[in-house]
A and B are shown apart, each in its own frame.
Chain A
Amino acid sequence: MSGIFHLEIIATDRVFYQGDCQHLVITAVDGLLGILPGHEPMVTTLPTGELKYMVNDSWKYAAISGGFIQVMPDSSIILADSCELPEEIDIKRAEEAKERAEEMLRQKQSIMEYYRTQAALNRAINRLKVSQKHFR
């Protein structure tokens, strides 16, 4: 792997990661997107999904919900609503949130409420997925 770039991942409640990174893979709106040093300047939004970045030749994973990324040739900044390591995810809580959201979806709701519960369900499923995949 040639070179490194500066990566900052900042969630609303903390600075998640700040440092060097060799390779970053994000879930963009239409699929996975890999970012290497020297990438062209780019801006895109990040839906709820998975994120991985390589530091010292080892991959690190994280569950991310809602945000955007600004890529520059020598640095990238991710600003997200929340970002968690697989081992930080509270599986019980995520499962409860998932059930709650599923229960809500069975009720008759306005379009707005429907979107909201669907987003909540997505977040819960994403958390469960990331934690099951990488933390066992």
Chain B
Amino acid sequence: MPNIREIRERIASIQQILKITNAMYLMSSSKLKKARKAYEATSPYFDKLRSTIESILEHTPHTRQMYFDRRENIPEEKRKKGYIVITADKGLCGSYNHNILKFTEQELEKAADTGNCRLFIMGQVGRQYFNSRLKNSSRAYVDGEFLYTTQNPTLYRAMEIARLVLDKFEKHELDEVYLIYTEMESSAQFTPKTVRLLPFVRKHLGVAADGTLKKLPKASFLPSPEEVMANLIPNYAKGLIYGAMVEAFCCEQQARMTAMDAATSSAKDMIKSLSLLYNRARQAAITQEITEVVSGAQAF
């Protein structure tokens, strides 16, 4: 039979935690409302941006633009790959961080030589994880100067990040750039996802209405394909990063809300079963006391 005092202390401490998780639940649900609004406002842009770029790439004539430079002369194991990874700034959001970090590690395994991989991590959790993980290994390394938060994504921050990676691509510090973020499939279903940012690949052939491959017609570019692409690609990168940031932030809040809701309800369950235990122990103590008194009285 557990001690009555112990149970009482246990209940009190669970109640304390319940207060915290409940407060966090309320906070994340109000943040989620904001994040979801931003996500709903941005997702048409994000979807349209991707589909439009895809169709533009189908109609792009041959260009020597540097963002299309695939650098095929560099062998697979020498290619310098950059990964922009969007994680959360804080923990306590269920498996959100775990999933994206595991997914990133899998992506890194796929790379031929991880020594050439560079990680640009947004969010404290991911940065700390990979910093301690990759410290002594010759595998991928984390860019220490890349310090951006994932809270309240802004277009300006996305622009800075886009400029930074494009700059590194131009200087041949990176040959390929990928973006890893969490995609929101439905309000309860999140999956980590990789999107290739650079270099761009032109499409020569498309599937025609009758299912056969045909050469795509080329659109005209004003003033020239090179100049349009030099403007359009930074814009696209910015939009893509911004959209990913907004989506990931929304996922994070959603994950945190669900996790905190689950924590609150399991704390309530624990209190329930503990108070049952407590009442039983109390009843047992009372019964024992009565027995003692009665047997004491009988002795007289």
Contact = CB atoms under 8 A, between A and B. Distances in A.
Contacts of A11: 45
B219 interface: yes
A43 B44 contact: no
Interface in B34-91: 38, 41-42, 44-45, 48-49, 52, 55-56, 59-60
Nearest to B48: A10
Interface residues of A, number: 25
B239 interface: yes
Contacts of A68: 228, 231-232, 235
Dominant SS at the A interface? Answer: strand
A41 B219 contact: yes
B41 A79 contact: no
Given A28-B222, A68-B231, A43 B56 contact: yes
B49 A79 contact: yes
Interface in A11-43: 11-15, 28-30, 33, 40-43
B223 interface: yes
A43 B239 contact: no
A77 B52 contact: yes
B217 interface: yes
Interface residues of B, number: 27
A74 interface: no
A33 B228 CA distance: 15
A44 B223 CA distance: 7
B34 to A, nearest CB: 13
Interface in A91-112: none
A42 B41 contact: no
Contacts of B52: 70, 77, 79
Contact of B219 (A13, A14, A43, A79): A43
Contacts of B218: 41
Q: Which 6 A-B pairs have the closest CB atoms?
A: A41-B219, A45-B231, A44-B222, A42-B220, A13-B41, A10-B45
Given A8-B48, A43-B232, 14 more contacts: A12-B155, A13-B38, A13-B42, A14-B41, A29-B231, A40-B220, A41-B218, A43-B60, A45-B232, A67-B235, A68-B235, A70-B219, A79-B52, A81-B155
